[in-house]
Structure 1
Amino acid sequence: MNDFLIRAATDADGDAIAGLIAAAFAEYEGCVFDRAAEFPELDAIAGHFAARGGTIWVAEDGGTVIGSLGLLPARDADAPEGAMEIVKVYVARIARRRGVARALMATALARAEAAGAGEVRLWTDTRFTDAHRFYEACGFVRGPGARECHDLSATFEYPYRLTPARALAPPAMPLPAMES
């Protein structure tokens, strides 16, 4: 049974989300976490998402943030009208394989479907192979090529797409309690 809570993030969660990102980056050679230079939105994360028409959720266990995932209207020039984008998918190493990412993804995909999104997109670092397997297990299909981000980590990202009909099946175990 899952013993974590999914809830909408608040601006006060920025430091915890920063910790998740920094820890994930530390797992990969060459990934640099510089909050001030590349993640200033973490200073008011919920407000940032709200201003862009989106939401970011966190998974919390015993008062500790153990995961995050955001959903925004897609801004890619080639995105179809109403497309949404998944961003900031991070789960603490000690919380992996507990259904945290799956529960966060199910929450976001349900919101995207309710909003009438015909497509959900995401971009993921080419080095994050575990994430690739997770997204593919959720029904996302990797597109061709990769984009260069021109960031401190010299990141290249793969594109992934999902249509609601291909969305991940409901998890076999019950979802955790949720607040919105």
Structure 2
Amino acid sequence: MKLRLARNKDASQIISLIKKCYLDYPNCYLDVKNDSPELMTVFSYFKEKNGKFWVYETNNKVIGCMGYLPLSQKYIEIHKLYIDKKYRNKGLAKKLILKVESIAAKKNFKYISLWTDTRFKEAHEMYRKLNYKKSKKTRKLYDISNTSEFNFKKKLIKYS
């Protein structure tokens, strides 16, 4: 299993991975054109916004992904964390999150934030175990899946 920066040509595999993850949740759909067009040029999109996006791959197949974008001088935000069901509970998501936390702390960000679908209860539990706190903020996306999201955030410890 290899972790590497995503390339634009990974788009179809990343989209397939996310669609596959959504199958576990009723009425959860991915509308790339209207809701997530950045997935078509994932590397370029994140690079242009001073972020990064990684994929885990095994046998040339994408089995996990996640990116981050800076929101302000204090906040960095995690985006699109998905791990294929067959590879969950092996620490892959945790490694990605810890990687971003380390980068964020070294770049002097004070907080890391993320939005997660209210239906993704397993993910919520993982965030709690990593000391993320569910904030009072929620948002409704008005997308094809009628998504509502919770916000989680964590105060970072500065590394020397």
Q: CA deviation at 1:81?
A: 3.0
Q: CA deviation at 1:145?
A: 4.2
2:47 corresponds to which residue?
50
| Higher RCO structure, 1 or 2 (CA under 8 Å, sep 6+) | 1
Helix, strand or coil for the counterpart of 1:89?
A: strand
Structure 1, gaps ≥5 residues long: 75-79, 167-180
Render the CA deviation track for 1:113-154: whole Å, top value 9, x for unaligned.
121110000010000000000111111100114211111111
Kindly report the root-mean-square deviation, in angstroms, between the aligned alpha carbons of the 2 structures.
1.4
Q: Is the 8 A contact 1:84 1:117 kept in 2?
A: yes
Helix, strand or coil for the counterpart of 2:136?
A: coil
Q: CA deviation at 1:82?
A: 2.7
CA distance in 2, matches of 1:117, 1:81: 6
When normalised by structure 1's length, the TM-score is 0.83
CA distance in 2, matches of 1:81, 1:42: 25
Instruction: Name segments (4+ residues, structure 1) moved above 2 Å.
Output: none
Percent same amino acid at aligned positions?
30
More strand by share: 2
Q: 1:145 to 1:83 in 2, by over 3 A?
A: closer
Q: Is the 8 A contact 1:58 1:104 kept in 2?
A: no
Q: Is the 8 A contact 2:105 2:157 kept in 1?
A: no
When normalised by structure 2's length, the TM-score is 0.93
Render the CA deviation track for 1:14-43: whole Å, top value 9, x for unaligned.
111101110111110111112222221111
CA distance in 2, matches of 1:139, 1:59: 24
Q: Is the 8 A contact 1:59 1:104 kept in 2?
A: no
Q: CA deviation at 1:58?
A: 0.9
Structure 2, gaps ≥5 residues long: none
